[in-house]
Structure 1
């Protein structure tokens, strides 16, 4: 009997130690081994994070499955973290690697491959005109074509035209592949539908990333179905097939003395590095194009869509911006030199970026070694996630954060204030968005051209829902809905 009692006590002590959160870690939800903390409520992820923020402060953890996620709500703390080499890596999750091992492209890999591809992509985008006047004419052309499509739809409530998607795609695609698509090209509709499939299917991949051991327990067919791996693979393979066709065309027409675009320059780099161990190959180029394609236009399309919705709901703000555009441009097409003359337009764009917070909890980083943050131990392999939507609504940085107020971006003389603490639409640190310059240029040109010609409002008897789509909790995407476009007199 005594032996059984001793064994029970030992078992209880061992179980308690197994369930106990190690000392020195941030406060938060620990849960069970392999499973982590599983909330038993109908609250969404945003509501859970708000609850933990109120309970634990600006830094806390939530063990999901076997992964320790550290959520950060403080702007200065996340800026400190993402500028430290210990937090430079991406977690090697399915979401980032899309089933490629090793991870390819620029979004998912770490180490030399990430460094090479990011440096190469930045150089190529700058050479092709990112943030420079040489690209403005191409953006103006696409903006004007979009205005034509919007005028054709004017007067009839309907979702925003597919031409918005096509116009933004054409800009990034001109830079990387020297291609342009007609506004009515069926290929664009197909690619748009594929991206919608990916956006809907991808959140389930996070569950598999949290509990990778599931792959060793369940049959592969069940894993593929439960976590939408088959859907994501289908979308990825369709895009790679499309990119490979373009790569093959570039190989056949390559002029080594006159490279046209990013693809040409990558192929030349492949030739130069052919006899080395450098990781340059066509599959890597295809995934790099996937990364640039999705990140380079999807965020711009969604930002513009949110901006049109906000203007529909704030007609006085829309009129004030249009008055500025009319007064300063006098009907002329905008250039980058006009930006200082259009401070309110720039303010509307920045306020849209703040309010929409497209990547609500940021793109995760991983601790490459045991380190510290906010006075707490951060074990190697922990995932750092900035709660950007919370930072963008932090009253320490923003007065009346729930209100759409472009005026907050203007100083006392009415000049646009470009930098503000608490503002992270393009992240921060060495892994910040490499296309920020392109995105800001596109947004300025598109907004200036479009609002010269048309206005946006709610359909009669209805209101525009400017909240993010609840079906996509990780990424803030605008809800597809009818909007009324009116041609300005």
Structure 2
């Protein structure tokens, strides 16, 4: 009996030793503990800093720009600084996507979809999606016309809302932004006041605040879904997945019932046509997962960026007036077009500065090592989750000088023309996994803000004059609930 007990104790000690032992030549970082890894240290620092990307900056001060961690059962490496960030985002060895319970929860327990798939499967799906979205108007005049139509309707809604009093900015752009993408994906747009879509968009935003880019507690310790389903975000994410899956499935069923192989109307029709060819990667589950990725992307980062932009313009009214003056000189009362961008350098400089400071996706989408890889004399094992801290690049004092000051002129040269330092400015990431929706996001951002400034003066609400420009932490940064005064502007 004693021998059995001693054997169990020895085995447990060995398992603990194996669990806490760091891989050979792993990047420097805090020591980790059995089962939970560095969870307690990260949580303690998160209480101080309030944001995960600031935790990584603080750790970098102690351990250097590359930090080796373990979160639950997952190895995690965070890189800071422009050189390491660009290397991680551009090298093929880092082009994988993390796997785990949280990431598979969205996609039928499989590593499918578009955002979190990898390898040849991802390459085929991305090629198909980009090709057909371009054929449907992405990056072309049709896309611009769709955005202009949505923007016009949005201005009408904002005029109605502003006549009643201060306007809630946090979710003001969700459906407008989603509609443009959804028109190409599912051939349908929704009323900006559609209750069901607004509810789903709010669920998306809320779910993004429950996890960090590594997948949060739900991915690090998936057993918590049984012990603390609300705390780890399981209940919220499950609700979101179920409701969006039902919404998308309804749309797909409508397409199946009216499908004509000779006249595909949108991306869903083109995918169904591909399914009929019996291609093994084109399945109904993949179609739902792909649409879910597009839906969530279409209602999150771009709408958050637009909301932050309005907050910054309310805070810096002198900048707002200069933009309006430039718009007056170049456009008069004419509706903005994408061709006008080249003639609006100050306006574009402001939009860049807002992206730099708001950092809506401060660490982007997580990557994963596809093999054992050497980076800056450290060895990172295959399957390690990689976070590239874009915030550290956008707030680098050595390059920007005064990164915490809102100064749009930093994007203008001596002649007053737009000059973007591409190496140090990467709101959409870099490399082959750069944001696929960049063209649509940039077009939405420019056309909505310029049209908004043509129609309104944006002012703080005297009843709540303190603006939160930092937002809420999560997978992305999202603006806090804020009401602003939009007063009609007459040119």
Fold equivalence (TM over 0.5): yes
| Alpha carbons of structure 1 residues 246 and 484: separation in structure 2 relative to 1, 3 Å | same
Residues 288-437 of structure 1: matches in 2 within 5 Å? 288-437=290-439
Is 1:74 matched up with 2:84?
no
Question: Aligned equivalents of 1:163 and 1:73: distance in 2?
Answer: 33
Could you tell me which runs of 5 or more consecutive residues in structure 2 were left unpaired when the two chains were aligned.
Answer: 1-6
CA contact (8 A) 1:370 1:379 kept: yes
Q: TM-score, normalised by structure 1?
A: 0.90
Do the aligned partners of 1:464 and 1:483 also contact (CA within 8 Å) in 2? no
Deviates more, 1:413-422 or 1:12-21: 12-21
Q: Does 1:194 align with 2:199?
A: no
Q: Contact (CA 8 Å) 1:312, 1:464: kept in 2 or not?
A: no
1:183 aligns with 2:184: no
Cα–Cα, structure 1 residues 252 and 377, in superposed 2: closer, same or farther, change >3 Å? same
Q: Secondary structure at 2:387's aligned position in 1?
A: strand
TM-score normalised by structure 2 residue count: 0.90
Which ranges in structure 1 are unaligned for 5 or more consecutive residues?
Answer: 1-6
CA contact 1:26–1:59 (8 Å) conserved in 2: yes
Q: Note the 1:58-137 alignment, pairs <5 A.
A: 58-98=65-105, 100-137=108-145
For the residues of structure 1 that align with 2:138 and 2:128, how far apart are their CA atoms?
14
Instruction: Kindly provide the CA deviation profile for residues 320-373 of structure 1, in whole angstroms up to 9, marking residues without a partner as x.
Output: 111111110111112221110111111111111111111222211111111111
Task: For 1:12 and 1:206, locate their aligned partners in 2 and report how far apart those are by CA, in whole Å.
Answer: 28
2:170/2:479 contact within 8 Å kept: no
Q: For residue 256 of structure 2, what is the aligned residue in structure 1?
A: 251
Distance change (3 Å), C-alpha of 1:16 and 1:397: same
1:12, 1:165 → 2: CA distance?
A: 52
Shift, 1:16, TM fit: 7.3
| Whole-angstrom CA distance in 1 between matches of 2:441 and 2:53 | 27
Query: How many angstroms does 1:55 deviate by?
Result: 1.3
SS in 1 for 2:374: strand
Label 1:322 to 1:229 Cα distance change in 2 as closer, same or farther (>3 A).
Answer: same
Query: How far apart, CA to CA, are the structure 2 residues paired with 1:253 and 1:12?
Result: 63
**How far did residue 284 of structure 1 move?**
1.0
Asked if 1:235 corresponds to 2:245, the answer is no
Shift of 1:229: 2.0
How many angstroms does 1:418 deviate by? Answer: 4.0
Alpha-carbon displacement from aligned partner over 1:293-318 (angstroms, at most 9, x marks no partner): 11123111111100000000001100
**In the aligned structure 1, how far is the partner of 2:474 from the partner of 2:173?**
24
Q: Structure 1's 442 and 12: CA in aligned 2 closer, same or farther, altered over 3 A? A: closer
Instruction: Report the alpha carbon displacement of residue 170 of structure 1 after superposing the two structures with TM.
Output: 1.2
Separation (CA, whole Å) in 1 of partners of 2:230 and 2:318: 49
The separation in 1 between residues aligned to 2:315 and 2:16, in whole angstroms, is 56
8 Å CA contact 2:396–2:403 kept in 1: the answer is yes
Q: Is the 8 A contact 1:102 1:109 kept in 2?
A: no
Count of residues in correspondence between the two structures = 474
Deviation, structure 1 residue 417: 2.1
Match of 1:148 in 2: 156
Q: Secondary structure at 1:427's aligned position in 2?
A: coil
Tell me what 1:211 maps to: 221
CA distance in 1, matches of 2:211, 2:87: 29
Q: Deviations over 1:155-187 (max 9, x none)?
A: 622313865222112111111011011222222
Task: Specify the alignment match of 2:288 in structure 1.
Answer: 286
Q: Provide the rounded CA distance (Å) in 1 between the counterparts of 2:204 and 2:19.
A: 42
Shift in Å, 1:462: 3.5
Instruction: Give the Å deviation of 1:385.
Output: 0.4
- Aligned residue in 1 for 2:4: none
2:481 maps to 480
